[in-house]
Structure 1
Amino acid sequence: MTQPQSISHQTLLSWQKLEQLAKKDWSLVDLFAEGVDQTVANKQIQSRAERFCVQSQGIYFDYAKQCIDDEVHQVLLNLAEECNLKDRIEALLQGHKVNISEDRSALHTALRLPKSASLSVDGQDVVQAVHNSLDRAEQIVNRIREKLWRGYSGKAITDVINIGVGGSDLGPLMATTALDSWADTDIQVHFVSNMDGKQLGSLLDKLNPETSLFIISSKSFGTVDTLSNAQTALTWLLKTGASRQSILRRHFIGISANLPKMSEWGIYPDNQLALWQWVGGRFSMWSAISLAVAIRIGMAGFRQMLAGANAMDEHFATANFAQNLPVMLGLIGVWNSTFLNIHAHTVLPYDGRLRYFPSYLTQLEMESNGKSVTLHGEQVTYSTSPVLWGEIGSNAQHAFYQLLHQGTQRVSCDFIACVEDDKLMELAKGDELQYQHNLSLANCLAQSRVLAFGNQAVAKKPTSKSEDQAVSDLDKFKRYRGNQPSTTILLDSLSPRSLGTLIALYEHKVYVMASIWNINPFDQWGVEMGKKMADSVYSELVNNKISINQSCQLFDVSTDALLAHIKQITAIRK
């Protein structure tokens, strides 16, 4: 496939139609009332819940509480066709260079292809390279889990510390936490990402250097956050008196696309695991980057996660758009952000095991689609990625739900829950935990209802706005305006496989939205300038001058003043 053609969105008939439809006074109360009337009049008409629902891959995806009707639904599907989404999906999965600005493929889907598959890119079968890396990772995982990997004193490893940032931290941290019930080893896994050293420092106080193993995860092996923590860990281990050679060989594993830099730092060749330039950091958790996950749940469990993601890839490639989970999730996101001008989105998992999933998605979505230039270098004239955040639903109810229910801005929401918990009945207090599980599910469904219908949620079924007489008598401080659109995603249960499916669903959602917006979701030039400026500021911060001569501006008056204040306080304390 060649580079996608430039799209003038305003000339697309579907785009123009959606702009017109967005001007409508959308009311979820009215939409549901209309659905009730239609069902009564004609029993053959599907209910709103049936029309705006997709069931596949162990997921029940309900978007009936979005501000859409049958017309919007069809025009969104037309938009996907006009934007050549089918070709874009094929280009992604076939390894074409969809990362235009860096002239690369984006082959995270190749990381979960089965061993029997084949995908040739630039004359190389990438599937073979991927499985060679996975097999090497499995050897390391088994050595650690079987207590064959020993520290400098001969003791078996008890703690594994993953040092990384961004995609080298958020994905593995999220997955390890979500799948902790599947952990079948007493080896503990820890994650360190903060560059200020406090996170690592407090952890080192609790660890035994004889039995600690550090995984240094960095695609470039040049990220200052990661390497500063790695150097601190090395210094800590060298204080034991063991030789540098022994420390590096027995206590450090490196994962990177830059093998020479790993070797230069001191990672032994046998302890190196490879990445590839065609894998973006935030899409890399399907690779050796998730070594910590595999150590905790076993390589068989990790391969189940890969299989779940691959199943979603197949669904994405083959399902018709109206029944395609990522396509519909992405189209709804475009409708909300670009046409309804809803510029905030929150993800609300009602399952404590998914507590890091919203943080993972903040990077996945905002770093991918936080773009204002098209694939062809033209300035976009429409809204792209919304601001995304989230929290466990039960915690969020006592934190920011106030804004969702009675604030001044509209926010779209994703509710995520698990219908069953296969692990509950294995526990001694399974009955009590089942009660809490059901309570969480009830809150999930109740909150989405109140967000949609406001004060009318207390009724058995919503009526039209004109019938909303009771609300006018309520105390004005207790009025819930409703009309906050939401999607509810129910997993049959949480497992390594279903987690892989869920993550891949959101990866492809991001790609669908980027394809409609005609932007590149696989580069992240926006993070580079800050890194370069930090080097300049750091150089000035550590020089010996106590004050900054205002007649010679270094950066800007604000930054210069802040630097001078820091140096002054530091000098006094010395």
Structure 2
Amino acid sequence: MNIDICWQALESHAGSLKPQHLKDLMAQPGRFEGLSFRHEGLLLDLSRQRILPESLERLMELAQASELPRWIASLFAGEPVNDTEKRPALHTALRMPRNASLELGGEDLVPGVHANLDRMSEMVAQLHLRQWRGYTGEPIDTVVNIGVGGSDLGPVMACRALSDFQPVQAQGLKIHFVSSMDGSQLAELLDQLNPATTLFIVSSKSFTTIDTLANAETARRWLAEASGIADDILVSRHFVAVTASPKKAQEWGVPEHNQLHFWDWTGGRYSMWSTIGFPIALKIGMDNFRAMLAGAHALDDHFRTAPLGGNLPVLLAMIGIWNINLLDIHAHAILPYDGRLAHLPAYLEQLEMESNGKSVRRDGQPSAHRTCPVLWGEVGPNAQHAFYQLLHQGTEPVMCDFVVPVRRYSQQSETLKRQHQLALANCLAQARVLALGDAALDTEPPTPWQHYSGNQPSTVIMLEELSPRTFGALIALYEHKVFVQSVIWGINPFDQWGVELGKKMANRMLEVLGSAAADEGLDASTEGLLQEIRRLRDNKPDGH
């Protein structure tokens, strides 16, 4: 079917559904059974979306007309789906099992992936066994990961999410994360650390990222001032580089035997499956890290082979298309009901908005449709006391994702089990009230100020339990959702040209800040701020 005809049919169908309230849609028999979907330990419940089963059928017609199956095949085959940078996007290759095979340019990628994982495993074992020793000979007991963006957000999220799975040998190893370019995180942290027993992981794909290298240089100077030992010895004992640019890392001073590598076909926001996941492996052990990879790979296989109508990433993506492009909903709240998933919203903000926050199609033409919504979120109980007021009684339509595990604390006290039941109850209650409004309690509100209109659509993603395997599947689910939406909108989700101009201008501003001379090429507002900065920096009185 022609794409334009599919859009027109969807617009007509959406127009007929818009007057209907979710409370009426949800009263239809068999709704949950017809609009919930499963894969291994994941349940995707779409029954609180403002759709009918027919809506999904029409959305799948749009996916077919957009040649989604061909794009999925191209992604997994290693074709250059990142067309503006002329390279593939093969994060899925990073979680392929050892006995698999994927050729790119005549080379099988899988042995190289596992060689790097094996090297990472050796480093993890050395640190867990306290065999990695600092410049004094004392064993390393503290690791600081220096990165930004995908080199920080993914590892931070995974370490928090899977903290319950820390093996005994890892429990004495303290892991910290530093990402801020202003040095505030690192300065505060260094005051608490022992330089003789601290190892720094410098995670940078290009090994030219200013934010990361500035923090790495500060750490290097801190070690030198504390030890008085030759720089090459310090770097070889206290720095590991994780990079796709080994020559750059070596020029900085990190010897090859202290490097872990990945490839330029690994996008930063898709990189925690690679050796960028080194701090995750240190936190949860290599067995659990490999289980995380296996969960993601199982979801990859599902995405690659399942029919569109039962394909979880496709369904999640097409519901987003429905809400954004047909119901005009452009705000998306991510609401995990488990404190271990506290960093999931921030991770998905980068994954989705850096990938699909674009207005130009692959063919260079402006997009005819709205693309990525604004994402934000918070752990559910905190969010209930922060922005749920807007969700329930505000003027802004918002789509929500509730993410919750069913089982937790199976070996813990009854008090903790009850607390998890409380989280589950709140998750179900909030999803119900957002959908049904006052009808959830079958009572009329006593005042207009207590009225809940409901009709806010939400998806519930339920995990049997939060484990390395289900966590890997959950993140892969969202990765593939982003790709599906990019296909429908006709945009490239794997480049990020939108951040480049800001970086270039920052370099120019850095030069201007270091000079007393005015820059005639600047606008009046920026020049005014520069003058104020210089005045305050030089402690000159106001007006001079």
Per-residue Cα deviation, 1:275-327 (whole angstroms, up to 9, x for no partner): 11111000011000010010111111100000000000011011111211101
Look up the equivalent residue of 1:425 and give its one-letter code: S
Match in the other structure for 2:9: 17
Change in 2 beyond 3 A, CA 1:22/1:553? farther
Look up the equivalent residue of 1:441 and give its one-letter code: L
CA apart distance, 1:350: 0.1
Look up the equivalent residue of 1:59 and give its one-letter code: L
What SS does the aligned partner of 1:100 have? coil
Match in the other structure for 1:260: 247
User: In 1, Cα distance between the equivalents of 2:143 and 2:540?
Assistant: 37
CA apart distance, 1:244: 1.1
Residue 416 of structure 1: which of 376, 397, 403 is its match? Answer: 403
Match in the other structure for 2:327: 340
Match in the other structure for 2:154: 171
Residue 452 of structure 2: which of 470, 476, 480 is its match? Answer: 480
Match in the other structure for 1:239: 225
Per-residue Cα deviation, 1:320-357 (whole angstroms, up to 9, x for no partner): 11211101000001111112110110100000000001
CA apart distance, 1:541: 0.8
Match in the other structure for 1:6: none
Q: How does 1:128-147 map to 2 (within 5 A)?
A: 128-147=111-130
Change in 2 beyond 3 A, CA 1:35/1:344? closer
User: In 2, Cα distance between the equivalents of 1:28 and 1:189?
Assistant: 51
Residue 377 of structure 2: which of 390, 395, 400 is its match? Answer: 390
> Is this contact kept in 2: 1:326–1:512, CA < 8 A?
yes
Instruction: Please give the TM-score of this superposition, normalised by the length of structure 1.
Output: 0.91
Per-residue Cα deviation, 1:396-430 (whole angstroms, up to 9, x for no partner): 00001111111111000000000001xx2334xx2
Q: Percent identity, aligned pairs only? A: 50
CA apart distance, 1:245: 1.8
User: In 1, Cα distance between the equivalents of 2:342 and 2:163?
Assistant: 12
What SS does the aligned partner of 1:345 have? strand
Q: How does 1:48-67 map to 2 (within 5 A)?
A: 48-67=31-50
> Is this contact kept in 2: 1:345–1:386, CA < 8 A?
yes
User: In 1, Cα distance between the equivalents of 2:353 and 2:264?
Assistant: 21
What SS does the aligned partner of 1:101 have? coil
Q: Which runs of 5+ in 2 are unaligned?
A: none
When the two chains are superposed, the root-mean-square deviation of aligned CA atoms in Å is 1.5
2:209 counterpart of 1:223: yes
Per-residue Cα deviation, 1:37-76 (whole angstroms, up to 9, x for no partner): x53xxxxxxx111111101120111011111112211100
User: In 2, Cα distance between the equivalents of 1:475 and 1:10?
Assistant: 50
Match in the other structure for 1:295: 282
Per-residue Cα deviation, 1:2-53 (whole angstroms, up to 9, x for no partner): xxxxxxx985321111122232352664x553564x53xxxxxxx1111111
What SS does the aligned partner of 2:199 have? strand
Per-residue Cα deviation, 1:348-378 (whole angstroms, up to 9, x for no partner): 0000000001100000000000011111111
> Is this contact kept in 2: 1:256–1:275, CA < 8 A?
yes
Match in the other structure for 2:410: 425
> Is this contact kept in 2: 1:28–1:66, CA < 8 A?
no
User: In 1, Cα distance between the equivalents of 2:26 and 2:223?
Assistant: 66
Per-residue Cα deviation, 1:412-465 (whole angstroms, up to 9, x for no partner): 0000000001xx2334xx210000000000000000111111111113xxxxxx
2:272 counterpart of 1:285: yes
Change in 2 beyond 3 A, CA 1:259/1:34? closer
Look up the equivalent residue of 2:222 and give its one-letter code: W
User: In 2, Cα distance between the equivalents of 1:147 and 1:376?
Assistant: 54
User: In 2, Cα distance between the equivalents of 1:176 and 1:17?
Assistant: 45
Residue 24 of structure 2: which of 17, 28, 33 is its match? Answer: 33
Residue 482 of structure 2: which of 510, 527, 530 is its match? Answer: 510
CA apart distance, 1:242: 2.2
Match in the other structure for 1:451: 434
What SS does the aligned partner of 1:555 have? coil
Matched positions, count:
537
Match in the other structure for 1:463: none
2:516 counterpart of 1:544: yes
Change in 2 beyond 3 A, CA 1:104/1:222? same
2:536 counterpart of 1:565: no
Look up the equivalent residue of 1:15 and give its one-letter code: W
Look up the equivalent residue of 1:138 and give its one-letter code: S
Match in the other structure for 1:465: none
User: In 1, Cα distance between the equivalents of 2:359 and 2:383?
Assistant: 31
Instruction: Please give the TM-score of this superposition, normalised by the length of structure 2.
Output: 0.96
> Is this contact kept in 2: 1:415–1:486, CA < 8 A?
yes
Match in the other structure for 1:72: 55
Residue 112 of structure 1: which of 95, 104, 118 is its match? Answer: 95
> Is this contact kept in 1: 2:23–2:435, CA < 8 A?
no
Match in the other structure for 2:143: 160
2:350 counterpart of 1:363: yes
CA apart distance, 1:554: 3.2
> Is this contact kept in 2: 1:27–1:483, CA < 8 A?
no
2:417 counterpart of 1:434: yes
User: In 1, Cα distance between the equivalents of 2:428 and 2:127?
Assistant: 43
Look up the equivalent residue of 1:524 and give its one-letter code: Q
CA apart distance, 1:135: 0.8
CA apart distance, 1:147: 0.5
User: In 2, Cα distance between the equivalents of 1:26 and 1:507?
Assistant: 29
Change in 2 beyond 3 A, CA 1:96/1:538? same
Q: Which runs of 5+ in 1 are unaligned?
A: 1-8, 40-46, 460-469
Look up the equivalent residue of 2:462 and give its one-letter code: L
What SS does the aligned partner of 1:239 have? helix
User: In 1, Cα distance between the equivalents of 2:121 and 2:514?
Assistant: 44
> Is this contact kept in 2: 1:159–1:188, CA < 8 A?
yes
> Is this contact kept in 1: 2:437–2:455, CA < 8 A?
yes
User: In 1, Cα distance between the equivalents of 2:182 and 2:333?
Assistant: 28
Per-residue Cα deviation, 1:489-511 (whole angstroms, up to 9, x for no partner): 00000111111010000000000
> Is this contact kept in 2: 1:28–1:452, CA < 8 A?
no
Look up the equivalent residue of 2:102 and give its one-letter code: L
> Is this contact kept in 2: 1:163–1:217, CA < 8 A?
yes
